Amino acid sequence: MFSSVWVALGLSLTCTSALSLISPAWFQTPTFSFGILTYCSWPQGNSWNQSCVTFSSLEDIPDFAWKVSAVMLLGGWLLLAFNAIFLLSWAVAPKGLCPRRNSVPMPGVQAVAATAMIMGLLVFPIGLASPFVKEVCEASSMYHGGKCCLGWGYTTAILNVVLASLLPIISWPHRTKVQGRTIIFSSATERIILVPEMNK
């Protein structure tokens, strides 16, 4: 049961992270929006008639901080996707093939993915000082959007990173000592495991 919930959370987190990464709505004005990989423009009052451009390579991305952010965010997303695929295969594998069903495998990979994505989200606003963004947002600078407003894509990316950071924390077993024995409280199981403490 716990592994199925974990797989569902991992897969949904990977999908929503991908959606936020391809979204052009990280920062926006009434006629322009941009994200980490895409930017769009449209006539005043006609947002249904958008023309969008996707950066096809790192050389096309207009600022070095933006490039670093893209690499970190995409690297974190790839780790998240790898972890989700591994969790799915782990959950559907026969019990004899995966004997440790009571614990979630590889929470460290998800923690590394979350850390990379956090760093990418912190580096991205440095790119608001680039000439490309200043032309659109006018008075923008590092960590200040100028006339551009925060969009749903960046907000969704932040929410995904918060959730990706919390999932590995709740998967670690919690330990406490009682009268010379270690008690492990695992959120993955509904039992308490008593481990005798070895004398030194």
Residue 186: inside a domain: no
How far CA 50 is from CA of 5, 145, 160, in Å, comes to: 38, 22, 27
User: Into how many domains does the chain fold?
Assistant: 1
Residue 192: inside a domain: no
Residue 181: inside a domain: no
- pLDDT tens column, 152-187: 999 999 999 998 888 777 665 544 444 555 555 555
Q: Given a cut of 90, is residue 90 above it in pLDDT?
A: no
**Chain-wide mean pLDDT for the chain?**
79
Domain housing 142: 1-95+102-174
Residue 200: inside a domain: no
What is the pTM for the complete model shown? 0.76
Phi then psi dihedrals of residue 195, to 5 deg: -115, 120
Task: Report the pLDDT averaged over residues 125-144.
Answer: 86
Residue 128: inside a domain: yes
Residue 184: inside a domain: no
Domain with 49 in it: what CATH number?
A: 1.20.140
Residue 196: inside a domain: no
